[in-house]
Amino acid sequence: MFSPLLTVTTVTIHKLIANGSFGPDEIEVMKAAYEAALIDVGVTNPDEPIAELIAKSIVNVTATGERNPKEVMERALNALGVRRSAGSESQNSPTVEEDYQAARSGSGSRTP
């Protein structure tokens, strides 16, 4: 299934790390953390300015050596002072870890 958010996620993260030295595993961590962060804060339009700030923050956290996608997301959002959405703790919501595992297995990612 085609996901416009996933496509934009990939483009945004790859654009930011083009000059970095991240391997495929780190890139997957960043993509999973970024997509989950957008869902977490309720960003539905990846062209919103906050989306790029979130992506930059995720790249910065990953550059510190963190490789847990959930921790990357949490630290990136905390660094920006962004509050979690009230519905983000829903048991029906995909977790960062589920998105990361889906990306690693090649089955794509869930969409909101």
Q: pLDDT per residue over 47-69, tens digit each?
A: 899 999 999 999 999 999 999 99
Q: What is the DSSP letter of 91?
A: T
- Please name the helix (run of DSSP H) or strand (run of DSSP E) that holds residue 27, with its range, or none: helix 24-41
| Average pLDDT in the chain | 76
Burial class (CB in 10 A: 0-12, 13-18, 19+), 93: middle
What pTM, to 2 d.p., does this model score? 0.65
C-alpha angle 94/98/102, rounded to 5°?
A: 120
pLDDT in tens, 84-100: 655 544 444 556 666 66
Helices 96-105 & 69-80, crossing angle to 10 degrees? 130
